[in-house]
Amino acid sequence: MPEVIVENIVASTSFADKLDLDVIAQSLEEAEYEPEQFPGLVYRLSDPKTATLLFRSGKANCTGAKNVEDVRKTVDIIADKLKKLGVDVYKDLKIVIQNIVAISDLGTELNLNEVAMGLGLENVEYEPEQFPGLVYRIKDPKVAMLLFGSGKIVCTGARQTEDVSLAVEKLSAELSSLDLIRK
């Protein structure tokens, strides 16, 4: 089973009914807020190394975490800072994982033309003149995988880390059964 490394988790939450981004931007020195360019406030943490977009609606998107614990830690840190600014933060903050991006390596080179034919053209997008990777969509778990001739894979669209491992396992087994990789 190829090793799977999570590179990025995108998650969303809602901190409050509304946020005054001007006050937050003035009060928190790590905050970046330029409403003329983008309606959200960017708040970066160094530990865990994440960036969170806060919106006036009270909603927020966290990116950059490499595990779910770091998402939770980020949300807790921001909730504490908002409370100190007098924001009426919701009690139980619900975190929804929107997307997990992970990488893996099959450990062998792939002939992407053969892979495209073997996996079936209805599940594959492969236009080597436009992009050097092959896009393979799996229905269960619902993910998209980018396969490269080097054998490297980028998996995106998963909502649970277990789904990434399952998808890579399925892909590896399918390619082996088609005799397109040697285990």
Answer yes or no: do 66 and 132 share one domain.
Answer: no
pLDDT digits over 55-93, tens only?
A: 999 999 999 999 999 999 999 999 999 999 999 999 999
Helix (H) or strand (E) holding 155: strand 152-158
Report pLDDT for 183: 54
| Sequence letter at residue 10 | V
| Alpha helices for 28-160 (secondary structure H) | 68-84, 112-119
Count the domains in the chain. Answer: 2
pLDDT digits over 90-143, tens only?
A: 999 999 999 999 999 999 999 999 999 999 989 999 999 999 999 999 999 999
* 68 domain residue, yes or no: yes
Answer yes or no: do 39 and 85 share one domain.
Answer: yes
| Alpha helices for the chain (secondary structure H) | 21-27, 68-84, 112-119, 161-177
Answer yes or no: do 57 and 119 share one domain.
Answer: no
Answer yes or no: do 91 and 15 share one domain.
Answer: yes
Cα torsion 177, 178, 181, 182: sign: positive
Answer yes or no: do 77 and 112 share one domain.
Answer: no
